[in-house]
Each structure stands twice: as C-alpha cells, then as structure tokens.
Amino acid sequence: MTKSVGVHEGKTQLSRLLELVAGGEEIAITRRGEEVARLVPAPGGSRRRHLGIDRGRFVVPVGFDDPLDERALETFERCR
C-alpha cells in the first residue's frame, strides 16, 4: 500500500519519509489531492541494516590490542 502525503508534509517530514522509503515503502506526494510525485526506493539501493547479523562469526583474540613485541615494532618502524 502506498502512503500519501501533501506537499507541505513532504517538505517538513522529508527525513522521516526517506526512512520509510529506505525500508521499502512508496510515498505519493500530492497537491490538492492529486498525486504529483512519488518517492520510491532506488533500484539496487541498500536495504535496512540489521545489527548483530554476524554475531559469533568472529571472536577478537585475547591480547589483540597488546603492545607489539620488539621485532614486529622494529619492522614497522623501518617501513616508515
């Protein structure tokens, strides 16, 4: 189902309407009750992101952010 909004609401609520469109909805923009434009998702556009979808697929190793040992530090320093 297409949501319909007037021009004034379209201007004042554009950010909210774009969120709806990004979620797959279509928005008809009307002037005096007649449709003059339509907001639709862009072809191939990104879909709504779902946080945590890869949870558990990677575990940060213990000591990941420990200081580098001397040999590794010297190697990096030489590359500067």
Give the CATH number, domain containing residue 11: 3.40.1620.10
Output the tens digit of pLDDT for each of the chain's 80 residues: 689 999 999 999 999 999 999 888 999 999 999 999 999 988 876 666 778 888 888 889 999 999 989 999 899 888 87
- The domain total for the chain is 1
Three-state helix/strand/coil letters over the chain = CCEEEEHHHHHHCHHHHHHHHHCCCCEEEEECCEEEEEECCCCCCCCCCCCCCCCCCCCCCCCCCCCCCHHHHHHHHHCC
- Hey, how many other C-beta atoms are within 10 angstroms of the C-beta on 29? 17
Whether residue 47 lies inside any domain: the answer is no
What pLDDT is recorded for position 7?
Answer: 96
Whole-model pTM? Answer: 0.53
Residue pair 18/43 in contact (Cβ under 8 Å)? The answer is no
Quote the domain boundaries for residue 11: 1-42
